Structure 1
Amino acid sequence: MQSLTLLLTVVLFTATLADDSCGFNHPIYGVIDLASLGLRDGRARFQDVSPASGLDYLYSFNPCYSFREETCQNVAVCQISPDRRFSFELARQGSSSWSLDTSYRPTLNYTSGSKTVLITMVCSSADEDSLEVLGETRSNYYTMQLRSRCACWNGCGSRSSPFTTKLTSRVTTKPTTTRPSIYYNSCRYHDSRYGSIDLSTIGNTNGKSVFKDVNSLYPNAYLWSYNPCYSFSEHQCNNVAGCQIDKTNHISYPIGYQNFVYWLNMNATSGLNPTIVYPITTSNRLLKVELICDRTSSANHHLQVVGETAVGEYYMRLTSPCACWNGCKERPSRPSFDWNVWTIIGIVGSVVFLLVVIMMTCLFCSKPKRQRFYTVMSEKTPILKY
């Protein structure tokens, strides 16, 4: 049974779709739809983007629809020299295919002759879509990252005419007439078919990790901290989801951020445990937390740290009733206060000072006044002489 599950997982993770650069329909994770991002007037949605490496060439990309720029005609990706004297076709829309990378992120692949362009989808809740060009990482091999809400699974609505694709693996799915309502963030995943998984009641809201300095299953020189839902800070790790701490050198490393979180294995009927992925796109690190449903306890949450399973990839298992579908309710919104020692000392000092002022004022007000006696002299009063 385990072998069958592993085989199914491998097949699903390596399944690719072809013939349509606008959309990716995965049997488990859902749909990536880029149709609303692309321009239809022959221009590139992302035009003349400079690579992060600072190299000379500029790059233009238009999702879904072909565009024209300089000598590039009816292309998906174009490379332009800074003086605009030269331009090179890198990809056409008809040469696309989809796959999942090693981090299970959807990737749009273009091939044109000897050239290959890989555009990785990075789920982002930011209002503005952006394209990050990494450039020609090796000869005739170009990599980019598209950050957008449409890069999230089921992040953008489908087109009026649904795209049709074919699986290059043997995994088949039955067509559905209605799309489920799906939305998620770092705290909660909701699917109208199954309900919600909500971790907001587990995580600390005071900037500290609920699972702090946990040892891994396999003894090593590191400790691990993790906080579901909310960012925390520890040592050199600032505003992170997970942190790796070196016991010997007292150095810490961020291993995941809450910002670009995405969820895997969210089909409740697949038999696979849901998994949250916290990527760090700037350092190619990511933290995966497998959620293991346990309804036997309403209070205990247990974190098991496996450690670094591959270069830059870290794995944990969170066992909790909140890891179950509809296991926990959303944390009620209320202001949180995190008063440190100096704040408390300042408040106490102010109260003491105010009390002293009040006591001194009362002391002066209650001091008895000196009584003075006045003698009234009358002309008729005789003056005694001796």
Structure 2
Amino acid sequence: MWRVVVSLLLAWSFQTALSQLECEQVDRCSCEMTDGSGRINLHALAHPNNLYRIDHSIFTFLYSPCGAMKNVNVTGECNDATSVCQLFKEGGPGYNYGGADSARFSVDPDTKQVRISYKHNANNITRVSNVNLVCDPGQREKALFELEWAEPLLLNFKLTSVCACPGGCMAPAVTCNMKDSCTCDMSDGTGAINLHPLDNPWAPLRSSHLQPDLGRNFTYYYNPCSGFSFTNTMCTNVSTCQVDTEAQLFYALGDVAPQPNPDVNQENGSVTFHYVNTEDTGRHSDIRLICDPDQHVPEFTSLGEPSENFYVMALKTRCACPGLCKDDPIARKARYLEWKASNSR
């Protein structure tokens, strides 16, 4: 008898595991349904400069899926990292009910309703907002954003759209459109990747790398925006340079400006700048930008020469994150004066 009971329990557990539908997070506004029905993709709804808005009772609610809201002219907690904001209609501070980076997908085990949740912690207070994603193939023009109910520190909304249907709304490929030699605008509205604060032609970023087949070290240099020059070498007015430290040979790996179409990884949003040295025989290089909001000091790493005359480097910095960095001419002048002072001693 006990064997029958155990078998039934195992069968029930197995069936329960199979029935636990999930939506596995891909990024902060898309997830993949585990039943194979497809991906819920909200990228097409990202309009951080044109927010979803609800005027309700004494409050106004603002929502920016995918990316943090931009240019929110309010006081209080609703800054450039916020996805959900609550405002008093008559003025006063805004309250952050969830940052863009806090977005998490889940599925209600009873209703099978997919929702995306946000939270914000400040002064030992946690505010939470939930957005239930309602699939409606007929809601194609614009998503319908509604308040379901609210209580202190908890907001519940409903977002109705074809994009809430698995496989129903595949956004176009995200691109980053070059504005100048070191700034590009993300087409999904998340902001600009701006490397201007890293521009320092007097002290370019550097990294050493051991080339296994040659058995010796090379040093790689990189400076975005305005490039740099090593006097009386091939590395004059370039963005990237390889130096054979043993033989003291210099090889230019890229002009100051990158190629006009950076690559954008469609899974994680990372951007790669491509550089070509038009004055040499085919040498070119890639700079892989790695977004890390906490990386205030840039980390530059050479990854070597994966194929002949092609060089790869990685740059981890908060300035590789859309919208986090802006040009600062005053800081740039300060870097120059610091360099000038150090060279006059």
Task: Identify whether the pair has TM-score above 0.5, normalized to the shorter chain.
Answer: no
TM range (shorter): 0.3 to 0.5
**TM-score (norm: length of structure 1):** 0.38
**TM-score (norm: length of structure 2):** 0.42
Q: Which has the larger radius of gyration?
A: 1
